[in-house]
């Protein structure tokens, strides 16, 4: 018996056990594969039904109640009556105990019913506001800018999105800001109009899933929950626009995590109505006056603003106001720029004089379409398209030239990440940036043996990039953090000196970029960050097979190990000693 067939047999057996347990608990099957039980005190006096999914016991049983029979609305019950007892994938099931899975699922559903009917879960309705509001919304609108605190007119734009499923409607503070945001993601503005934004100071229970709300009744509800001046501004605005009129509303989140956004539209009245009533269409306020009972159209607001995206996407909120300069945008620097952008840094400044070459395709952020283009320009376009709320500024020049011509571009940053791949240049920059913000140096060793990131200029402590170097042979210096014994020629060549390169993979660049980015975040987010050297050690076999020798420091590491140390400062350092 193969594994697929064995799994089917296992699930069939588990389903049979589940059915036997349902019989024991008083459930009886019907012709539609549901198991039903009459009302009991344990389920709040409600009859419930159970279905066993095809993937049982790897999926929970589904438990239903008739919503129409409930004495009051309770949270965690879907429109079809399914009781939500756990988020999909959030529970690790002991699949070897199918009867226990059935019992526990029913018990959770019973608790939801009894507590809900007793009013103990009413606060959860506020938390589920959007689940109720967005049910059946025929329209969706993007919100990308910071949420305003004051009511007022905003701009509504329709985008040309072609055949994609990207939302075509978007609101923002102005046409210019929407157009700039849309261009970052390669979308064009097709048409534009006006909408209105109004903040409410108090949350309210959501309407039921498919409940019809009249324009007059819903406006009265809004009036009770917002400042008088804001509501007056809304009513005044309705006298200046025709229907359909779009209104975006914010309410405080009940968990104090920010705001909840939703929208509605006052629909256009059929022109035949105006003809029958001998009216000339004037403005939305007139339509409301003559048809106060017409239903609003609910609108789902798809949030792309940084307040929402960063916190829910695992980014660090504290980084949104920070600026990081990245000097060197090759394999390591490009991956570090991406890491920092995804971590939530609000502004990146990219510095690198080189164009993108085909030999870097398998380890760089950029793809083949950018060959021959400035690295920093390509990265700017790629990151801006992926994260349109990110600000990226590019300078296709050397760091020394930028420091001479526009020093604030680098020195005015919150932190600097250096990934030039040139140790001599890094030592020069270490000197030039001695009075600058926290600086994180990063570099990769060849053939997968490891990588390093060094955080400096934190909290006035000693310890800089120069501290890692010691004389080894005449004018040559050696890096004491190296995993490769000094004095060996590591660069490879395909075409003499002009074609020399350091062999390492994208995986090495990504791992080192991750460690370097973490040090940047620590330097920006912690109260008293320390100067720190982070070294990760890979597998030395490729290096040894190529005829090279590892250093004494490498012998103190295990393959795959990462070590952090703050004990690297030299008292005789000419830069920080």
State residue 41's pLDDT score: 93
Q: State the average pLDDT over residues 16-41.
A: 93
Phi/psi of residue 63, each to 5°?
-120, 135
Q: Match 């000339």 to its residue by tokens.
A: 280
Q: State the average pLDDT over residues 209-216.
A: 93
State residue 418's pLDDT score: 99
Question: Domains of the chain by range and CATH?
Answer: 3-120 (3.10.110), 130-304 (no CATH), 311-460+505-535 (3.40.50.720)
Chain mean pLDDT for the chain: 91
Confidence of residue 577 (pLDDT cuts 50, 70, 90): confident
pLDDT digits (tens, 9 = 90+) for 169-182: 999 999 999 999 99
State residue 93's pLDDT score: 80
CA distance 456 to 569: 10
User: Is the CB of residue 102 less than 8 Å from the CB of residue 61?
Assistant: yes
Output the 3-class SS for 414-475: CEEEECCCCHHHHHHHHHHCCCCCCEEEEEECHHHCEEEEEEECCCCCCCCHHHHEEEEECC
Q: State the average pLDDT over residues 85-111.
A: 86
Rounded (to 5) percent helix, strand, coil in the chain:
35, 25, 40
Q: State the average pLDDT over residues 260-269.
A: 92
CA distance 280 to 527: 65
Confidence of residue 491 (pLDDT cuts 50, 70, 90): low
């Amino acid at each position: 018996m193969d594994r697929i067939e064995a799994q089917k047999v296992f699930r069939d057996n588990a389903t049979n056990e589940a059915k036997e347990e349902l019989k024991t608990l008083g459930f009886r099957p019907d012709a539609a594969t549901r198991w039903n039980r009459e009302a009991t005190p344990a389920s709040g006096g409600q009859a419930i039904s159970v279905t066993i999914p095809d993937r049982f016991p790897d999926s929970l049983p589904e438990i239903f109640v008739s919503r129409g029979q409930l004495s009051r609305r309770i949270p965690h019950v879907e429109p079809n009556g399914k009781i939500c007892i756990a988020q999909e994938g959030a529970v690790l099931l002991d699949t070897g105990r199918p009867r226990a899975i059935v019992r526990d699922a029913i018990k959770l559903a019973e608790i939801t019913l009894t507590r809900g009917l007793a009013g103990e879960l009413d606060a959860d309705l506020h938390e589920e506001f959007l689940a109720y509001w967005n049910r059946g919304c025929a329209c969706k609108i993007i919100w990308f800018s910071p949420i305003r605190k004051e009511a007022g007119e905003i701009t509504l734009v329709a985008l040309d999105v072609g055949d994609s499923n990207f939302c075509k409607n978007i609101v923002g503070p102005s046409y210019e800001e929407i157009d700039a945001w849309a261009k970052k993601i390669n979308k064009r503005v097709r048409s534009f109009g006006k909408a209105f934004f109004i903040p409410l100071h108090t949350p309210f229970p959501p309407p039921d899933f498919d409940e019809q709300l009249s324009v007059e009744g819903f406006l009265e509800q809004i009036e009770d929950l917002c400042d008088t001046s804001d509501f007056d501004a809304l009513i005044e605005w309705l006298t200046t626009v025709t229907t359909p009129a779009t209104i975006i509303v914010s309410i405080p989140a009940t968990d104090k995590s920010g705001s909840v956004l939703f929208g509605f539209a006052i629909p256009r009245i059929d022109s035949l109505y105006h003809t029958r009533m001998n009216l000339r269409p004037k403005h939305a306020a007139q339509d409301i006056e003559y048809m106060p009972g017409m239903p609003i159209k609910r609108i789902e607001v798809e949030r792309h603003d940084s307040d929402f995206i960063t916190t829910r996407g695992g980014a660090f909120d504290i980084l949104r106001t920070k600026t990081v300069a990245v000097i060197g945008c090759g394999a390591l620097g490009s991956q570090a720029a991406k890491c920092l952008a995804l971590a939530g840094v609000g502004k990146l400044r990219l510095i690198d004089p080189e164009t993108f070459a085909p030999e870097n395709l398998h380890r760089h952020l950029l793809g083949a379409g950018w060959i021959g283009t400035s690295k920093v320009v390509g990265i700017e376009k790629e990151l801006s398209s992926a994260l349109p709320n990110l600000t990226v500024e590019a300078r296709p020049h050397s760091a020394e030239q930028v420091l001479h011509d526009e020093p604030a571009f680098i020195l005015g940053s919150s932190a600097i990440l250096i990934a030039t791949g040139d140790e001599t240049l890094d030592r020069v920059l270490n000197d030039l940036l001695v009075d600058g913000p926290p600086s994180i140096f990063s570099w990769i060793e060849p053939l997968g043996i490891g990588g390093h990131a060094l955080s400096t200029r934190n909290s006035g402590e000693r310890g800089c990039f120069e501290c890692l170097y010691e004389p080894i042979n005449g004018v040559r210096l050696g890096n004491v953090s190296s995993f490769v014994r000094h004095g060996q020629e590591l660069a490879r060549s395909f075409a003499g000196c002009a074609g020399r390169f350091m062999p390492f993979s994208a995986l090495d660049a990504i791992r080192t970029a991750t460690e370097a980015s973490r040090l940047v975040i620590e330097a920006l987010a912690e109260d008293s960050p320390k100067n720190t050297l982070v070294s990760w050690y890979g597998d030395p076999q490729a290096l040894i097979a190529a005829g090279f020798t590892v250093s004494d420091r490498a012998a103190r590491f295990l393959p795959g190990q990462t070590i952090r140390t703050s004990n690297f400062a030299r008292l005789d350092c000419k830069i920080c000693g």
